[in-house]
Structure 1
């Protein structure tokens, strides 16, 4: 009974954190209007959370060693819950942004430490299943975020996107405090003997923080036309270069980059990066497509995600059993990678008349791809590491997946901004004043407006305006399709890397080491 209380608690904590990475996306317009700020300003609510989250993830190994895993996890739940409350009561943008940053700091541990706690709840031979269970949270969190957010926005005030965390967080805090046991070494931590890599922490924080800012705000701020983007770009290059040099130089680095000499971890990180792009980009793109192009409500948008999520839930335990029985993770990941590529291809050829069944079918294929690729890739990436290298290997893959998501969203925004005017120009080239079909379209629209009591001159002007809106909508749809075509190419180009991974089964020793990684 105690085991399952711990399992439910840690999975809930991880899912709660991941939901908050995407739940606010559907409420941006309402939040901006309520606080009286621009869309560009309110986007800091997303940016601040992402920056804090990505900075803290690679530091969790050090923070666990210094404070103790249980203490760090319980304190992070408390911080996340308190920050959620602050987000809900925030009546100014600065307070909301600060609260979201604190929420991201607490959330980094909920994602990272939960995995190790979950592994420790299972015997060694069942830890591959534990990995699959945890993987469900990784995938379903970002998937259900827009669904839950859409329902709240359509029916309640946006603050409930944050207040909903408070009772859940309080229960998770109490259950964690009562039922999670400390490791023996956590009772006797001698902090005086732990050397703190202060310079490494500072360089990593500056570098990753600036990188996340550039990726999140680059397109909105016109990239290098903005002095802040230029300064942050210089800062991230200097900081990350110095960080790599420093971490490879000192004997006790805060992030042991030497583990990337392992071929499986290096190649696996590249593949996890692409999965991160696919996961977060599809979560970002799908709501925009069906709401802006097809005209679905936020609630309808979320409901279409449920069948795909159900497929993922069904397949994940099967993946865990296959890995625990010795099936090479690389073989499973290969099928998942192809399924994800197929999803992107299907989304690149749909049109304005796409039915809900077609969209659900594509999303179900995406669910299959995620279930078969995410956890097996992480397991394969760390399968050739030593037990001592496991914690850092898992931390790096977690960080790489998050950065992949940020890079993917930044690329999407930039690519759409570039393709939209080009597609609009190409479409407009077919609408010439003397073209018969164009004139027939304008005449039909004008006559319809005149029949409603609008005078002929105004009707003609409105018809031209409506025709322009139709062109812009079609151009936007083509731009979205272009994005999915590029995503398909990402998977095709990186697919051969799967066959460079060393094909090693997940042994009980590897599973135990992964469990001890505390991530």
Structure 2
């Protein structure tokens, strides 16, 4: 992805404005992965679907994004990094506008797929252009500043999304991209157009790309539709599963034998690459699944508004912003496996704390684990990406970064589907157990019912009220199960990190930073 001739770094105000333009585009892109999370109940309600069907708004963007990321290397060589970046930003603006106008859920999902696909090249290219703007000695500083935007955006997303949904309309969570995107595209073109990279016509691996789209799309549809169609009792779900598995097998066979594969799977022969990619992807999938689950629970069963749910999620960035520069500066001197282990242990602690929530939990109690989670986020990305990309030659870094990002984004989409599905199935189980204790033989239940009837409710209304309380408890217990299970999985990943080879001090630091996030 590098140009034939290394470009001289930018100077003065051009470098400052270039950094701001690239960071603004990245911020807008990353913001859109989380801004819809707290708005799902409103979007689903407006468009007449269930909140769980609404999760397609998140997963459709993530899957389309995952498919587009590995194509960045080929596209940038074909069209040039600057042209591709500016086109990607402008197409993202158009897709955002269409998302805001969408009158139905199928159309919104279609426009989110378009938005996710055109967003694919933006993050890898913003890294590449930013690194070309700075002298090599300042590469670490450039990536630390870039990382700040990718840490602040997921935090701002729920807060901004919640406020906009409560005070204006959910459409505006997409419309706000329009002025930011136009300004970022204009500034990027003005500053970088004379720094265009060399272009060359490369053959595209059409078969590999087609197989990639087929198996990823079928897998995601299976995960999202499974809970509505009773999983493998449905012929459609079975068919999707079969196509996903067969497509994946053919994809592996084709990519390992093609001369110009769309995804370089040979990277998985390296222990640090496969173990690092697995750790970052499973960790991200668990994290993202829980990030979607918490606002859903707060809004559906705890009476929180979208703004309040966003405020619960927001403080995750405080400690992450404070500690990330420290991690970036010391990663060359400290074994990154130690930092990654700290991240997993803190994630486990946070989820263990959440597994003790009850329906009486107040705002502060729910907020504390979110603040602590910032520590885990600071120690998560940079060390794991450093491990994953260590020992690779610079020409393989873009392909490796694209492949790791692809696996991570796909894992995030899987995490969302699996956590919402498990939440519903565990809630049904808990509801059945709780309902047994509210039978005619329960004196407490009968006393509660007679109390409700004496306060003016009909027997049916009193029963509905008790059922609502049982529902609230069942979904609370189900969320606790998922938090507890996720905590255990994070602890089990600590040994995985120690399977990787130790690094010499400073190995892969500058190049590894370029692959972060």
TM-score normalised to the size of structure 2? 0.91
Question: Over residues 335-369 of structure 1, what are the superposed CA-to-partner deviations in whole Å (9 max), with x where a residue is unaligned?
Answer: 11111111111111121222222222100111110
Q: CA deviation at 1:393?
A: 1.4
1:147/1:305 contact within 8 Å kept: yes
Q: Establish whether residue 108 from structure 1 lines up as the match of residue 120 from structure 2.
A: yes
Q: Establish whether residue 150 from structure 1 lines up as the match of residue 162 from structure 2.
A: yes
Which of 70, 73, 77 is the matching residue for 2:82? 70
User: Structure 1's 518 and 46: CA in aligned 2 closer, same or farther, altered over 3 A?
Assistant: closer
Taking the aligned partners of 1:128 and 1:218, their CA distance within structure 2 comes to: 44
User: In the alignment, what sits opposite 2:279?
Assistant: 271
- How do 1:88-167 residues align onto structure 2 when only pairs under 5 Å count? 88-167=100-179
1:116/1:514 contact within 8 Å kept: no
User: Structure 1's 490 and 41: CA in aligned 2 closer, same or farther, altered over 3 A?
Assistant: closer
Which of 399, 403, 415 is the matching residue for 1:408? 415
Taking the aligned partners of 1:142 and 1:75, their CA distance within structure 2 comes to: 24
User: In the alignment, what sits opposite 2:313?
Assistant: 305
Taking the aligned partners of 2:436 and 2:444, their CA distance within structure 1 comes to: 13
- How do 1:36-75 residues align onto structure 2 when only pairs under 5 Å count? 36=48, 44-75=56-87
Q: CA deviation at 1:79?
A: 0.6
Q: CA deviation at 1:486?
A: 1.1
Taking the aligned partners of 1:82 and 1:27, their CA distance within structure 2 comes to: 21
User: In the alignment, what sits opposite 2:33?
Assistant: 21
Taking the aligned partners of 2:56 and 2:432, their CA distance within structure 1 comes to: 32
Q: Establish whether residue 190 from structure 1 lines up as the match of residue 183 from structure 2.
A: no
Q: CA deviation at 1:74?
A: 0.9
Question: Over residues 398-435 of structure 1, what are the superposed CA-to-partner deviations in whole Å (9 max), with x where a residue is unaligned?
Answer: 11211121121121122122211211122223234233
User: Structure 1's 26 and 425: CA in aligned 2 closer, same or farther, altered over 3 A?
Assistant: same
User: In the alignment, what sits opposite 2:6?
Assistant: none
- How do 1:368-387 residues align onto structure 2 when only pairs under 5 Å count? 368-387=375-394
1:207/1:239 contact within 8 Å kept: yes
Question: Over residues 29-71 of structure 1, what are the superposed CA-to-partner deviations in whole Å (9 max), with x where a residue is unaligned?
Answer: 4334444566576554444323311110111121112211111
User: In the alignment, what sits opposite 1:220?
Assistant: 228
- How do 1:337-352 residues align onto structure 2 when only pairs under 5 Å count? 337-352=344-359
User: Structure 1's 505 and 219: CA in aligned 2 closer, same or farther, altered over 3 A?
Assistant: farther
Q: CA deviation at 1:180?
A: 2.6
Classify the secondary structure of the residue corresponding to 1:474.
helix
Cα RMSD over matched residues?
Answer: 2.4
Unmatched segments (≥5 aa) in structure 1:
none
Question: Over residues 418-461 of structure 1, what are the superposed CA-to-partner deviations in whole Å (9 max), with x where a residue is unaligned?
Answer: 211211122223234233323332233333x23xxx5xxx2x33
Taking the aligned partners of 2:314 and 2:424, their CA distance within structure 1 comes to: 30
Classify the secondary structure of the residue corresponding to 2:36.
helix
Classify the secondary structure of the residue corresponding to 2:252.
helix
Which of 445, 451, 459 is the matching residue for 1:444? 451
Classify the secondary structure of the residue corresponding to 1:142.
helix
- How do 1:424-439 residues align onto structure 2 when only pairs under 5 Å count? 424-439=431-446
User: Structure 1's 277 and 140: CA in aligned 2 closer, same or farther, altered over 3 A?
Assistant: farther
User: Structure 1's 287 and 377: CA in aligned 2 closer, same or farther, altered over 3 A?
Assistant: same
Classify the secondary structure of the residue corresponding to 1:384.
coil
User: Structure 1's 331 and 124: CA in aligned 2 closer, same or farther, altered over 3 A?
Assistant: farther
Which of 170, 173, 178 is the matching residue for 2:182? 170
User: Structure 1's 182 and 403: CA in aligned 2 closer, same or farther, altered over 3 A?
Assistant: farther
2:335/2:503 contact within 8 Å kept: yes
Q: CA deviation at 1:93?
A: 4.3
Q: CA deviation at 1:130?
A: 3.6
TM-score normalised to the size of structure 1? 0.90
1:53/1:107 contact within 8 Å kept: yes
Which of 347, 354, 365 is the matching residue for 1:358? 365
User: In the alignment, what sits opposite 1:258?
Assistant: 266
Unmatched segments (≥5 aa) in structure 2:
1-12
Taking the aligned partners of 2:82 and 2:393, their CA distance within structure 1 comes to: 24
Classify the secondary structure of the residue corresponding to 1:20.
helix
Which of 325, 328, 350 is the matching residue for 1:317? 325
Taking the aligned partners of 2:514 and 2:283, their CA distance within structure 1 comes to: 25
Taking the aligned partners of 2:470 and 2:515, their CA distance within structure 1 comes to: 53
How many aligned positions are there? Answer: 505
User: In the alignment, what sits opposite 2:501?
Assistant: 502
Taking the aligned partners of 1:506 and 1:123, their CA distance within structure 2 comes to: 21
Which of 225, 235, 238 is the matching residue for 2:246? 238
